[in-house]
Amino acid sequence: MITLQGLRSCRGEVTLPGSKSIANRALLMAALCQPGQQTQLTNVLRSDDTERMLEALVALGVQVEVADGHTTTITVTGCGGQWPTIPQALDLGNAGTAMRPLIAVLAATFAQRTDHPQCVLTGDARMQERPAGALIDTLRQAGAELTCLQHEGFPPVDIGSGMAHGMISIDGSASSQYVSALLMALPLLPGDSVLQLTGQVVSWPYIELTLSMLQRFGIEIHRICRQEFMIPGNQSYRSPGEYWLEGDASAASYWMAAAAIADGPLTIHGVGSESIQGDVQFADYLAQMGAQVRVDKHAITVSKGPLKALDADLNAIPDAAMTFATLALFAKGTTHIRNIANWRIKETDRLTAMAAELRKVGAHVVETEDAISVTPPEQLTHAQIATYNDHRMAMSFALLGFSDVGVTILNPECSSKTYPNFFSEFCNITQNS
């Protein structure tokens, strides 16, 4: 556990670790490049999620060279989807950014083999509670042989072969990761496909991020309309040679919020106006609340301002939206965070977890199926915050260290999923009065 209390300033500079969402996409795309092509990925975060993807690629026979350190350079030699080894099982922990795309990509690439290999994709206890039914159903409709070994629609999933190109439809209202997985897999099929998205698609910026990265890796996708894509088949991923991973925009939200509460200014390096991540929109919402915000190409600088409550539909940035729930304790009025139903299928049920922990410190909280409203108390109460083994719960509640009563965070080590050094950096850059 860690106790934070009476912090007063958050000034200077901080450099973000590379985005794990970009990292796991880039690692897989690099592995899918034409046989023998090498891709040098720089600013790759070594975290729990990226380790699971790296372990999976190595188990599939991909040649990977890794430099030492938390943030490092990784060179991947492509195999064109012709995996040198088909392991009996791949354990992906709780890494959704590894599980979802690998389900689709393996279903697509196994379809091109004649020996009908099978491989079980599994994960930890929480991953086995995180639904993947919409993706699995769509792949089955396309002919893939997928068997859920314990509960229908959930990992572990036995991946067979047989996926075919054609007209494919998926409900995008549960997770954008399903859509990104299909966008990565469908170009590998021998013929053309049309991908139709139904429902209110969640986290659109992550889909745009995937499309941008696919273009960098030589994949051609044509947008027919906002929710329909034509994807030529028989494509080959092509290495861009070198690929720099920008900083984690979701992680930037904790630093931006801290600087908005405390004496600054703080400059966050690694994301900015040229970022391909949607979570940089956090800066815009923060400015609406009253913070002083300057956005440059690759950096964001934030200074303290009198904060007023936020009322916003944050469907597009659900990860960064968590930071607003704790920042609400330092704002005047009631903060309403809307259209975030997919919080419930993340590392934990984040809506229920966030409501429970905010109430511990005295906040008045109203939780609905897809929203949360937070009213700060007149006086915060010190509490021990359960993190539910969820990295974003742990890092979001670090903001309460700027209160007089402080906070004790249980299992802060769970932040290693995406930001292993977060709490050590946070303690270094914040200062007591």
pLDDT in tens, 122-158: 999 989 999 999 999 999 999 999 999 999 999 999 9
Q: Going along 153-297, which residue ranges are E strands?
A: 157-159, 167-171, 193-198, 222-225, 228-231, 242-244, 266-269, 292-295
pLDDT at 227: 93
Distance set, CA 386 to CA 146, 360, 392 (Å): 36, 10, 12
Q: Give residue 418's pLDDT.
A: 86
Determine if residue 82 is labeled as part of a ligand binding site: no
Which residue has better confidence, 323 or 116? 323
Question: What value does the CA radius of gyration of the chain take, rounded to a whole number of Å?
Answer: 21
**Dihedral of the alpha carbons of 346, 248, 178, 64, in degrees to the nearest 10:** -110
Across the range 202-206, mean pLDDT stands at 90
115 is catalytic: no
Cα 44 from Cα 279, distance rounded (Å): 18
Query: What is the residue extent of each domain of the chain?
Result: 2-17+247-432, 20-229
Give, in words, the CATH class of 2-17+247-432: alpha beta
pLDDT, one tens digit per residue, over 300-352 is: 999 999 999 999 999 999 999 999 999 999 999 999 999 998 899 888 899 99
> Any known ligand binding at 360?
no
Closest CA to 249 of 208, 303, 199: 208
pLDDT-derived band at 159, boundaries 50, 70, 90: very high
Neighbours of 145 (CB within 10 A): 17
Residue 239 labeled ligand binder: no
pLDDT value of position 342: 85
pLDDT of residue 161: 80
177 carries a ligand binding annotation? yes
Q: How confident is the model at residue 117 (pLDDT cuts 50, 70, 90)?
A: low
Sign of torsion over alpha carbons 389, 393, 398, 400: negative
Q: At 293, phi and psi to the nearest 5? A: -130, 130
292: exposed, middle or buried (C-beta count within 10 Å: 0-12, 13-18, 19+)?
A: middle
pLDDT, position 114: 61
Element (H, E) at 7: strand 7-10
CA distance 352 to 331: 22
Summarize pLDDT for 240-294 with one digit per residue, the tens: 999 999 999 999 999 999 999 998 899 999 999 999 999 999 999 999 999 999 9
Q: Indicate if the pLDDT at residue 116 is higher than 90.
A: no
| Two domains, one topology: 2-17+247-432 and 20-229 | yes
* pLDDT score for 251: 94
Catalytic residue among 49, 171, 248, 319: 319
Q: 126 labelled as ligand-binding?
A: no
20-229 has CATH 3.40.50.720 classification: no
Query: Mean pLDDT of all residues in the chain?
Result: 94
Q: At what angle do helices 133-141 and 96-110 cross, to 10 degrees?
A: 10
Determine whether the annotation assigns residue 342 to a binding site: yes
Determine if residue 21 is labeled as part of a ligand binding site: yes
Q: Say which residue, 162 or 231, is predicted with more confidence.
A: 231
pLDDT tens digit sequence for 357-385? 999 999 999 999 999 999 999 999 999 99
Whether residue 70 has pLDDT greater than 80: no
Say whether 25 counts as a known binding-site residue: yes
Burial label for 402, CB within 10 Å (0-12, 13-18, 19+), is buried
Task: Give me the mean pLDDT over the 73-79 stretch.
Answer: 97
Predicted structure pTM score: 0.87
d(CA 425, CA 214): 33
pLDDT for the residue numbered 433: 43
